[in-house]
Amino acid sequence: MRREHGIDVLLVSLGSTVGLRRADDELHDALVRAGARVAIARPHPRDPLPTLMLTDLAWARAARSAAAKIVDQRAAVGPRSIVYSTTTAALLWKVPGAIRFDATGAGNRRGRHGLWQRPLERRRLRQAPLLLPWSESALQEAPATARAGDRALVLPVPVEPSGPPAPERDVAALTYGANPTKKGLDRVIAAWRTVRARRAGDAGGGAGPDAGAARQDELLVAGATAEQLQAGGLIEPGEPGVRALGTLAPGEFRELLRRTRAFVCAPRREDYGIAQLEALADGAQLVTTPSPGPYAALPIARELDARLVSDDLAAALHAALEQPAIGYAERAAAAVAPFSRDAVDAVVAEQLLPRLLA
């Protein structure tokens, strides 16, 4: 399918979060492996704005500008098709194209936060020649008129084990602290305090812990610093049992997952949950609340161990640490096999690229 000149696919990558950038890079690489010539239009990062309506407008304008620049430069030789990553990237499109999305604005921009975005999104979803939701649940959030016909192809983000299991899972619990309100970090820390007090009571007195035991009594928070957690009123200065790690490189985060007994989260809404799928791929128990949204890991977590999916997050976390299910890591690896890179590559090569180039 490779052509001597021109572009087969232009990927308009909003890239406003780490997860979105990673998903777009994975799609780019899969299309290249399938034989396509791919260009990426990346809007420049935007400064924080006071409202989500303004933020989305700024990103949508930046996406239109970045895409138009490449389309105008290559007018004579392509691109043959365009994929807009997120509905926000497609809101102000100059040229129609496929829309890939983890969630709809109708789902995560409720009330006044999506007054102008939601009606325009409905129109774009109807106009798009192809819809590429990350999950079946994301597709169900789209309007019925957009789902009519045969315009949708579910295309997950690949998730692979990051390496061999650690000799010992010496980290009790790990969570992700970026966007703490949406991710429910306050609920995670409250549950951890309850579990830590209970475990200390169960253990009774004794000598001070060694380094390994200390890690077993810590909640590690990736993606946020101690200063940020304190400024948000989430922890007290010097609070024992909670250690903020700041921003980690992807490899560092995955190495921690291989050492972690429980990855714990309580999102108020989850649009997909790449970190949770990565935790399962690396054998960590997923402890979570039954959060709304197209939460891809939620049904898997329930199937693996229903005790660990509960609004009583402290009880679920205590069960994971004190009464772990036998064979959890092995069953988790099998459950996320449909998200493997080989599986996604097959969908891209056999179904997506022929439809994009048709």
Same domain, 203 and 223: yes
In which residue are the tokens 């010496």 written?
A: 170
For 356, residues 6+ apart whose C-beta sits below 8 A from its C-beta are 8, 9, 36, 80, 81, 83, 98, 130
Give the rounded percent of residues in the chain with a pLDDT score beyond 70.
93
| pLDDT attached to residue 146 | 83
User: Mean of the per-residue pLDDT values for the chain?
Assistant: 92
Torsional class of 19: left (φ above 0), alpha (ψ -120 to 50), beta (otherwise): alpha
| pLDDT attached to residue 45 | 65
Same domain, 138 and 193: no
Q: State which residues form the domain around 70.
A: 9-158+340-357
Between 5 and 48, whose confidence is greater? 48
Does the residue 1 lie in any domain?
Answer: no
Same domain, 294 and 317: yes
Same domain, 190 and 227: yes
Torsional class of 283: left (φ above 0), alpha (ψ -120 to 50), beta (otherwise): left
Same domain, 202 and 286: yes
For 141, residues 6+ apart whose C-beta sits below 8 A from its C-beta are 103, 104, 106, 107, 294
Indicate if the pLDDT at residue 2 is higher than 50: no
| pLDDT attached to residue 214 | 47
Does the residue 69 lie in any domain?
Answer: yes
Same domain, 148 and 182: no
Same domain, 64 and 147: yes
| pLDDT attached to residue 103 | 94
| pLDDT attached to residue 5 | 55
Section 118-147 average pLDDT: 93
- Name which of 32-46, 180-194, 313-327 the model is least confident about: 32-46
Indicate if the pLDDT at residue 283 is higher than 80: yes
Local confidence band at 231 (pLDDT 50, 70, 90 cut-offs): very high
Query: Which domain CATH number covers 46?
Result: 3.40.50.2000
| pLDDT attached to residue 209 | 46
Does the residue 23 lie in any domain?
Answer: yes
Does the residue 14 lie in any domain?
Answer: yes
| pLDDT attached to residue 75 | 65
Indicate if the pLDDT at residue 1 is higher than 60: no
Local confidence band at 145 (pLDDT 50, 70, 90 cut-offs): confident
| pLDDT attached to residue 77 | 67
Section 91-110 average pLDDT: 94
Indicate if the pLDDT at residue 180 is higher than 80: yes
Local confidence band at 148 (pLDDT 50, 70, 90 cut-offs): confident
Same domain, 192 and 119: no
Indicate if the pLDDT at residue 178 is higher than 60: yes
Same domain, 344 and 333: no
Local confidence band at 358 (pLDDT 50, 70, 90 cut-offs): confident
The total domain count for the chain is 2
Entry pTM: 0.90
Does the residue 165 lie in any domain?
Answer: no
pLDDT in tens, 206-221: 444 444 554 578 999 9
Section 184-196 average pLDDT: 97
Does the residue 299 lie in any domain?
Answer: yes
Does the residue 178 lie in any domain?
Answer: yes
User: What is the DSSP annotation of 5-70?
Assistant: SS-SEEEEE---SHHHHHHHHHHHHHHHHTT--EEEE-PPPPPP-SSHHHHHHHHHHHHHHHHHHH
Same domain, 282 and 297: yes
| pLDDT attached to residue 208 | 46
Section 287-307 average pLDDT: 97
Same domain, 352 and 277: no
Local confidence band at 76 (pLDDT 50, 70, 90 cut-offs): low
Cα–Cα distance measured from residue 133 to residue 85, given in angstroms and rounded to the nearest whole number: 10
Does the residue 22 lie in any domain?
Answer: yes
| pLDDT attached to residue 200 | 84
Same domain, 344 and 322: no
| pLDDT attached to residue 199 | 87
Section 192-210 average pLDDT: 74
